[in-house]
């Protein structure tokens, strides 16, 4: 009897895997290490120090940009997750019909369109809206981030719905539960890990965005990524490393929390 194919048994798999992990994580390790550099030079280690973390914590522009980034990402992720959840239910809890595939493609279109194209389109559209309304607040950034975060939230939620057993939902309907009660007491608790995954993915994508934000934002609306980009254009100091290290820590904490929540529900 022929053995089943196992990629881990192939020649060179371990070497390629180790090299890939080094290529992915070694630059991050270097970034974090040099965040503690006492000197001003990124390429010359001059001792261990918390200097750049303290400088970043005392930098008003960094604090404002960080708060603005978190606000935009939180609102955009919540709205995108709600819309994605409704869209996933509408496209999975239904019989197949003509046009359903076109709806899948339409929802996932922002994933396939180059980000620069989306950014230019939003710039042209919002510039006209600004002229008509006179409004120049953060609403444009939140709307833009929500729009391109929807497919990122949609994919894990839809995957969760497609893998869910319909037995409990059908049993609730047989026991005269209304569609809303069946969704609230049966579907939603089972779908919760997918919703959390979709929210986290949308939040991180929004928090990380540079291209669309750079095109859509008005004066004085720098997010942390666009602020860091501006700093790199002028002068690179370990302060950028310190900011990146803090956000890396927050990302690791978010992933850890999601892991334990998902494990508990499983």
Count of domains observed in the chain: 1
Identify the pLDDT of residue 263. 67
Confidence of residue 3 (pLDDT cuts 50, 70, 90): low
191 located within any domain: yes
Whose CA is closest to 203, among 126, 266, 149, 148? 149
More confident residue, 135 or 166: 135
Identify the pLDDT of residue 1. 47
Identify the pLDDT of residue 40. 77
Identify the pLDDT of residue 80. 94
Identify the pLDDT of residue 98. 77
226 located within any domain: yes
Least confidently predicted of 65-74, 216-225, 257-266: 257-266
Checking if the pLDDT of 264 tops 70, the result is no
Identify the pLDDT of residue 5. 67
Structural domain that includes position 173: 59-265
223 located within any domain: yes
pLDDT tens-digit readout, 80-96: 999 999 998 888 877 76
216 located within any domain: yes
260 located within any domain: yes
More confident residue, 180 or 147: 147
Average pLDDT over residues 138-152: 91
Count of other CB atoms within 10 angstroms of residue 31: 17
pLDDT tens-digit readout, 192-223: 888 888 898 899 889 888 899 999 988 788 88
Average pLDDT over residues 48-71: 87
6 located within any domain: no
CATH number of the domain residue 160 falls in: 1.10.3720.10
pLDDT tens-digit readout, 214-259: 999 887 888 888 888 887 777 677 888 888 888 888 878 877 877 7
Least confidently predicted of 68-77, 132-141, 171-180: 171-180
67 located within any domain: yes
pTM of the model: 0.82
52 located within any domain: no
Checking if the pLDDT of 266 tops 70, the result is no
């Amino acid at each position: 009897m022929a053995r089943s194919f196992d990629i881990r048994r192939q020649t060179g798999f371990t070497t390629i895997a180790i090299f890939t992990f080094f290529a992915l994580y070694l630059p991050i390790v270097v970034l974090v290490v040099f965040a503690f550099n006492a000197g001003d030079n990124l390429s010359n280690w001059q001792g261990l120090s918390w200097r750049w973390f303290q400088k970043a914590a005392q930098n008003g522009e960094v604090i404002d940009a960080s708060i603005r980034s978190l606000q935009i990402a939180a609102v955009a992720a919540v709205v995108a997750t709600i819309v994605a959840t409704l869209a996933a239910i509408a496209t999975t809890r239904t019989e197949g019909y003509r046009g359903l595939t076109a709806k899948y493609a339409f929802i996932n279109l922002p994933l396939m369109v180059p980000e620069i194209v989306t950014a230019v389109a939003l710039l042209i559209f919002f510039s006209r809206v600004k002229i008509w309304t006179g409004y120049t607040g953060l609403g444009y950034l939140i709307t833009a981030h929500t729009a391109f975060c929807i497919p990122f939230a949609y994919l894990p939620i839809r995957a969760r719905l497609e893998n869910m057993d319909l037995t409990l939902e059908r049993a609730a309907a047989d026991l005269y539960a209304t569609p809303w009660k069946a969704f609230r007491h049966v579907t939603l608790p089972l779908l919760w890990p997918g919703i959390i995954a979709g929210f986290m993915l949308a939040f991180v994508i929004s928090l990380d965005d540079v291209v669309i934000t750079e095109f859509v934002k008005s004066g004085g609306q720098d997010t942390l990524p666009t602020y860091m980009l501006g700093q790199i254009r002028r002068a690179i100091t370990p302060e950028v490393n310190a900011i990146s290290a803090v956000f890396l820590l927050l990302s690791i904490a978010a992933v850890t929390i999601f892991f334990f929540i998902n494990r508990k529900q499983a």
